[in-house]
Structure 1
Amino acid sequence: MPIDIETFESSPEDRLQHSGETNADRVMRFLATHPEQAFTQSEIRDATDVKAGSISVVLSRLEDRGLVRHKGNYWALGEVDNVAAYASMLESTRAANDRFGEEDMDEWLEHAVDDADEATE
């Protein structure tokens, strides 16, 4: 995904190494730019560069969440309310990451409660 030149110029190199965009994000972005069309798995795979071994799983998980629809060999963007809720959640997450920084999973795990520890207390 492209970034603006100001971000390119002002960001440290390590910040520009990983976009954080998932395969699901790429599929949703592609389908959202074509809401009036349905595509085969291979068309979606080619347009998003999601690996052939992953596209089926990604689409199935998105379908389980109501974010895409599937009929025959074709896949399309899901119902408007579901997609709007997804987009809102993504925007909220991006805003929080911009304001507070992205979460460090290792740091988070240091403070997470282990269910086994809680059961013995």
Structure 2
Amino acid sequence: MPISADQFDAIEEEKDAPTPGTNAHEVLSFLEANADSAFTQSEIVEATDIPRGSVGPTLVRLREAGRVDHRGTYWRVSDHEESLNAAANHASDVAASHEEEPLDYDEWQEHAVDPRETRE
């Protein structure tokens, strides 16, 4: 069954994010919620109710995607993943703050840099 161009574009935008309801999404959500800790596979099984035989392969795929780190028997959300989440949260907060405040065009214009003045 064909899909619309908008549906196709949405798939393209979400290609790196695990689909909600999947093992990868559940594991990553758990590790992100507990970013200050690292866990064994057994602890992840207990916390997420994902079958024991599925957690290991899921963690390996997430590690290959750069979303989790692994040392010894422990797993945690990667620093890269955390920095991406922090950047997205910051961008969202900034956008939300701009929605609450009306733009004062005159004030913005006072601080704007004229591109002709920056030429050497």
TM-score between both structures, scaled by the size of structure 2 = 0.51
Alignment-mate amino acid for residue 66 of structure 1: G
Closer, same or farther: CA 78–25 of 1 in aligned 2, 3 Å: same
1:57 maps to amino acid = P
The DSSP-based 3-state class of the residue aligned with 1:62 is helix
Aligned residue for 2:43, secondary structure, equals: helix
Q: Rg: which structure is higher?
A: 2
Q: Which amino acid aligns with 1:23?
A: N
Match of 1:65 in 2: 65
Superposed CA RMSD: 2.5
Question: Residue 76 of structure 2 aligns to a residue in which SS?
Answer: strand
Shift of 1:20: 4.8
Change (3 A) 1:48 1:85: same
Secondary structure of the equivalent of 2:50?
coil
Offset, 1:83: 5.1
AA at the equivalent of 2:40: T
Aligned length: 70
Aligned to 1:113: none
Query: How many Å separate the matches in 1 of 2:37 and 2:64?
Result: 20
Deviation at 1:82, TM superposition (A): 3.6
**Ranges in structure 2 where 5+ consecutive residues have no aligned partner:** 1-18, 88-120
Partner amino acid, structure 1, of 2:56? S
8 Å Cα contact 2:66-2:78 kept in structure 1: yes
